[in-house]
Amino acid sequence: MKKLNITIVGGGSTYTAAMLKTICDYKDKLPIRKLALYDIDEKRQERVGKFAEILIKERYPEIETFIYTTDKKEAFEDVDFALMQIRSGGLKMREKDEKIPLKHQAVGQETCGAGGFAYGIRTIPDFIELVNDIRKYSPNAWIINYSNPAAIVAEATKRVFPDDKRLINICDMPIAMMEAFSTVLGTTRQKLSPRYFGLNHFGWFTALYDETGKDRLPEIYSFLKEKEILPSESEMLDQSWQDTFKQLAVMVRDIDGYIPNTYMQYYLYPTKIVEKSNPNYTRANEVMDGREKRVFSMLDEIIEKGTIEGSPIQNGVHGDYIIELVTSIINNENKIFLIITENKGAIENISSDAMVEIPCLVNANGVEPLRVGPIPTFYKGLIEAQLAYEKLTVDAYFNNSYNDALQALVLNRTIVDTPKAKAILNDLIEANEGHWPTLKRNTKDSLNKFKI
Ligand SMILES: NC(=O)c1ccc[n+]([C@@H]2O[C@H](COP(=O)([O-])OP(=O)(O)OC[C@H]3O[C@@H](n4cnc5c(N)ncnc54)[C@H](O)[C@@H]3O)[C@@H](O)[C@H]2O)c1
Ligand SMILES: O=P(O)(O)OC[C@H]1O[C@H](O[C@H]2[C@H](O)[C@@H](O)[C@@H](O)O[C@@H]2CO)[C@H](O)[C@@H](O)[C@@H]1O
Ligand SMILES: [Mn+2]
């Protein structure tokens, strides 16, 4: 098999170390010639880079070249896979995305509601620039994206790169849920095959087949009606993740139907979420005080010792899932993955151009969506509004339009109220100066735009 060149974009991410560990564990299925880390933050990436040198020497010495760089040509030339995990604006801007909506009694979340909207408008230009740069140096590279908000990134990149079959957007949340479900079922996630539909961070499980073909989701459903399911990931020990998984049981008990993604809590329980949020200490603070410090102090210790032996480094679902996807492509495995992809009739009663999250076969030719069929009214209604929100968010960026932005926020279930949407938008504009394009207010011919 041809040896691969892989670049991790956002090399300084808190997830890179665990992803590198998975890469080493997969070395028999994943022959690598060159591995590169690329980031715009030289110092942050250097700490991950120095750790990676030690890891590779000890666990994957067959890698011929390892580099970490802030130079795009060095990072993107002759690449087979670019694995994307950038955070536009960093955790400091995430903090603002979460705190500004909360100030107005609206959900303050990284990818949902007004927070996800702000993060989306920041990410679109950075991500498009990166795809253009990767394509310049490596026209055939597979670009696998984790960067959030993945729904907005997927909608924006579909518009700019409509024919790019090698640009794939994924999310690990349903996979982390399956990991927790598999513990309850006494099996492993890899033996379960999901059936699922929706948008990113806005979807539902409809079945979970085991290796005999038996649907095990009814067992999860009954379990949740009685008890709670907690995350099995060591990265999810924080109270906020425990509470999020506890809320899954509440959602299943309150409304009969499919099993929702944990992110549905922000749309179905916005009042409760706002009430229990601390507007002065949000998830961004928890991550900066927790995961970020934990990961980087672990890396610094490994660098000081000069070995990874005895270190607590672990794989995570995040790194495992993307590497499983890469191996399914290079080995033409035809495994089923949940992918954010253009609907094209898969969900029969949702528009064809929607970027939906559904099961797909993944092989050497890329992604082949499986048919979902028609979905019931409740789910269709929720999805249609969220989809319109996503499209208007991307419209707001490309049209530089204040009105598109306002319409997006009014449509979002976490906001709804127009004066509240306006107040949040105005604060976000101020906070994102230098990150967002200038959003132009209505002009006198704006009515013409809406002529039918
Ligand atoms: N899709 C999913 O399910 C999923 C799961 C986990 C994390 N994520 C996403 O992965 C990303 C990384 O998360 P994190 O918590 O590790 O963030 P982080 O801030 O720790 O790391 C992100 C890194 O990206 C770098 N970066 C920012 N802009 C860049 C650019 N234009 N080019 C290159 N590098 C750039 C930063 O310097 C930083 O080192 C986020 O977007 C997060 O939302 C997605
Ligand atoms: O609040 P954060 O930064 O901890 O998490 C936000 C991300 O949450 C999901 O990712 C999970 C992932 O599912 C799990 O496997 C493990 O690695 O923890 C991650 C969270 O830390 C979600 O899918 C992402 O889109 C979010 O960025
Ligand atoms: Mn996700």
Task: Give residue-wise pLDDT tens across range 43-69.
Answer: 999 999 999 999 999 999 999 999 999
Q: How far apart are CA 270 and CA 105, in angstroms?
A: 9
Length of the chain: 452
Task: Give the Å distance between the CA of 195 and the centre of ligand 2.
Answer: 21
Q: Is 263 one of the annotated active-site residues of the chain?
A: yes
- Number of other CB atoms surrounding residue 451 within 10 Å: 5
**What number does the ligand 1 atom closest to the CA of 127 have?**
31
> Of 15, 263, 266, 379, which one is the catalytic site residue?
263
Task: Give the Å distance between the CA of 12 and the centre of ligand 1.
Answer: 8
β-strand partners of 356: 341
> Of 39, 80, 97, 172, which one is the catalytic site residue?
172
Q: Provide the residue-wise pLDDT of the chain in tens; the chain has 452 residues.
A: 799 999 999 999 999 999 999 999 999 999 999 999 999 999 999 999 999 999 999 999 999 999 999 999 999 999 999 999 999 999 999 999 999 999 999 999 999 999 999 999 999 999 999 999 999 999 999 999 999 999 999 999 999 999 999 999 999 999 999 999 999 999 999 999 999 999 999 999 999 999 999 999 999 999 999 999 999 887 788 999 999 999 999 999 999 999 999 999 999 999 999 999 999 999 999 999 999 999 999 999 999 999 999 999 999 999 999 999 999 999 999 999 999 999 999 999 999 999 999 999 999 999 999 999 999 999 999 999 999 999 999 999 999 999 999 999 999 999 999 999 999 999 999 999 999 999 999 765 666 777 77
Q: Is 148 annotated as a binding residue?
A: yes
- Nearest Cα to 48, choosing from 95, 77, 85? 85
Task: Give the Å distance between the CA of 294 and the centre of ligand 1.
Answer: 16
β-strand partners of 6: 35, 81
Q: Is 159 annotated as a binding residue?
A: no
**What number does the ligand 1 atom closest to the CA of 11 have?**
39
Q: How far apart are CA 236 and CA 220, in angstroms?
A: 20
Q: Is 172 one of the annotated active-site residues of the chain?
A: yes
Q: Dihedrals φ, ψ of 154, to 5°?
A: -65, -45
Residue 246 identity: K
Determine if the pTM surpasses 0.95.
yes
Q: How far apart are CA 330 and CA 190, in angstroms?
A: 18
Three-state DSSP class for residue 308: coil
Half-sphere exposure of 366 (CA within 13 A, CB side): 16
Residue 16 Cβ contacting ligand 1 at under 6 Å: no
Residue 347 Cβ contacting ligand 1 at under 6 Å: no
Q: Is 283 annotated as a binding residue?
A: yes
Residue 150 Cβ contacting ligand 1 at under 6 Å: yes
Chain centroid offset of residue 204 CA: 16
Q: Is 201 annotated as a binding residue?
A: yes
For a pocket test of ligand 2, which of 21, 172, 234 has the largest count of ligand atoms closer than 8 A to its C-beta?
172
